[in-house]
Structure 1
Amino acid sequence: MTSPRTNPRSHPRPKVHLTEEKETLLATLYGRALDSRAKRPILGDTLAADTMQRLDYDFSRMRLSPGNAAAVALRARQLDVWTAGFLARHEEATVVHLGCGLDSRVHRLAPGPGVRWFDVDYPEVIALRRQLYPERAGYTTVPSSVTDPAWVAQIPPDRPTVVVAEGLLMYLTEEDGTALLRRLMDRVPSGELAFDAFSRFAIRVQWLNPVVVKAGARLHWGTDTAGVAALSPELEIVESISALEVPGIEKLSAGGRLAARMSAKLPAVRDMARMYRCRF
């Protein structure tokens, strides 16, 4: 696939002025970029590396380790797999990507002509996206806080819809997060939710999360399988995977694989971050 980029020499490098939870989107971009340069990439998102080079920002201050980059890539790949699977089953569908940041998922998956895709994030994040990524048919950017109810009226109410949220829900309060997901489920006739979530224990020890601490952000919502199931009586959890057991983890270094196996033996640690695919 041809890289959907403009010539970086013909445009000034956009300066980045993001703070708190907004700044954490740069860490995930950096993680995908580092993975793309690895000897055995997991996600292989070369557009992430290209985008990173086109920004006026010192990414080295984030100090992401190869293990952190691999974790970012594994999470993104699993959500790609779930989203692509939904689109393979529904050629006329909608994708709602919540808190899209600078993720190039729509370009990685290159959905067909029957798909409507909505990327939703804060106005300043969408403004930055528009400087970096090209327009494409069926693709709409929505400059809004995800918790503002008004933007949901843009989502077609008559198509199966997959809602994707990566590294987002833990930054919302439980009240805002549950209201958001229920609002979207009520808007469309059927679909799926694909997202990652932190446990309550992970929220309590968030001071151990270097990306969150560095950005001066704060995590709020911790949940578990029972909490996810309680979102709606019509919601069915199809898959629930610990971040330490996600498919592809065998691609980590020997040390990374050993650390993941040892950590997964401790239930509280194993369940700190989980990925969910739910049907409604």
Structure 2
Amino acid sequence: MEKVRFTEEKATMLATLYGRALDARSARPILGDQAADEAVKQIDYDFSKLGVTPDMGLTVALRAKPMDEWAADFLRKHPDATVVHLGCGMDSRVHRVDPPPSVRWFDVDYPDVVDLRGRIYPDREGYRTIGSSVTDFGWIDEIPSDKPGLVIAEGLTMYLRPSEGEELLRRLIAHFPQGGEMVFDTFSRLGIKLQKLNPVVRKANATLYWGIDEISELERLGLTLVTKLDATDYATPEAKERLSASMRAQLWLVGLIPAFKKMGRILRFRF
């Protein structure tokens, strides 16, 4: 068993990993992420203290699903693309999306996270990890820039300071002269203010910084919006039926208040 001792922001990756594992164990999984379930079984950690409920596991899967689908759609059109998965944590997205060997896929996260991934997940052709903070921008030089790029970041932007996040996006846009797409999720400024209501953030004693209210704040960096999903758009009617009554009530309430709807968004851009 792997012994895991992560603190603050790094502990949140275990919560999302466990959420995907719970989804995989359900009778009707959204992602069916068996790699996540196997990873949880290999890690010696008390996942119960993260406070991840079946409802939360379902919402984790619902957030990841469209991001996987958008990534797969881009790679169908660009089967020789370069993928950069920022702040990958323990996400097994490369195994879920299962790109062809012609795709060069790079997972980027702190060295200790990358080390743990290497001990748990199998190697695959065309896949590499880079051990670095995403804001130590030197790692970008390791990424080939001769093909279209796909940049994916789930559960990352809100942990960056605004100046860091904007500079990261600018550098990645400039790095791919043939263009490409970016897929990531965001919190609004209200979401940042209410961060301690998020049980995963609270239990990990993490801090969120970057809140984005308007799409124009990102478009001025050189991005063009393709698709946006607000917090109430993630779940299909069938998926909503699987949520608890209290969670369905929360979604209904959020849908009534525009400021709450955009507290969490999933965005797809081209550049």
The Cα of 1:140 is off from its aligned counterpart by 0.6
Counterpart CA distance in 2 for 1:111 and 1:247 is: 25
Q: Is the 8 A contact 1:16 1:57 kept in 2?
A: yes
Aligned with 2:260 (options 251, 269, 273):
269
Counterpart CA distance in 2 for 1:104 and 1:135 is: 12
Aligned with 1:41 (options 19, 24, 29):
29
Q: Give the letter aligned to residue 265 of structure 1.
A: L
Q: Give the letter aligned to residue 118 of structure 2.
A: R
Counterpart CA distance in 1 for 2:34 and 2:252 is: 29
1:91-146 Cα shifts (integer Å, max 9, x gaps): 11011000000111111111112100000000010010010011111111000000
Q: Is the 8 A contact 1:74 1:249 kept in 2?
A: no
Aligned with 2:211 (options 213, 217, 222):
222
1:223 is paired with a residue whose SS is coil
Q: Report 1:140-151 matches (<5 A).
A: 140-151=128-139
Counterpart CA distance in 2 for 1:137 and 1:170 is: 31
The Cα of 1:258 is off from its aligned counterpart by 4.2
Residue 122 of structure 1: aligned partner: 110
RMSD after superposition: 1.2
Counterpart CA distance in 1 for 2:72 and 2:237 is: 20
Q: Which runs of 4+ in 1 moved over 4 A?
A: none
Residue 9 of structure 1: aligned partner: none
Number of aligned residue pairs: 266
1:244 is paired with a residue whose SS is helix
Aligned with 2:13 (options 9, 25, 38):
25
* TM-score normalised by the chain length of structure 2: 0.95
Q: Give the letter aligned to residue 53 of structure 1.
A: K
Q: Is the 8 A contact 2:51 2:200 kept in 1?
A: no
Structure 1 unaligned regions, length at least 5:
1-12
Identity across matched positions, percent? 51
Q: Is the 8 A contact 1:98 1:120 kept in 2?
A: yes
Q: Report 1:48-197 matches (<5 A).
A: 48-189=36-177, 190-197=179-186
Counterpart CA distance in 1 for 2:48 and 2:15 is: 10
Farther-moved stretch of structure 1 (140-149 vs 57-66): 57-66
2:43 is paired with a residue whose SS is coil
Aligned with 1:198 (options 184, 187, 201):
187
1:80 is paired with a residue whose SS is helix
The Cα of 1:46 is off from its aligned counterpart by 1.4
Q: Give the letter aligned to residue 147 of structure 2.
A: R
1:22 is paired with a residue whose SS is helix
The Cα of 1:278 is off from its aligned counterpart by 0.2
The Cα of 1:249 is off from its aligned counterpart by 5.6
Structure 2 unaligned regions, length at least 5:
none
The Cα of 1:248 is off from its aligned counterpart by 3.2
The Cα of 1:269 is off from its aligned counterpart by 1.0
1:136 is paired with a residue whose SS is coil
Q: Give the letter aligned to residue 227 of structure 1.
A: E
Counterpart CA distance in 2 for 1:209 and 1:247 is: 19
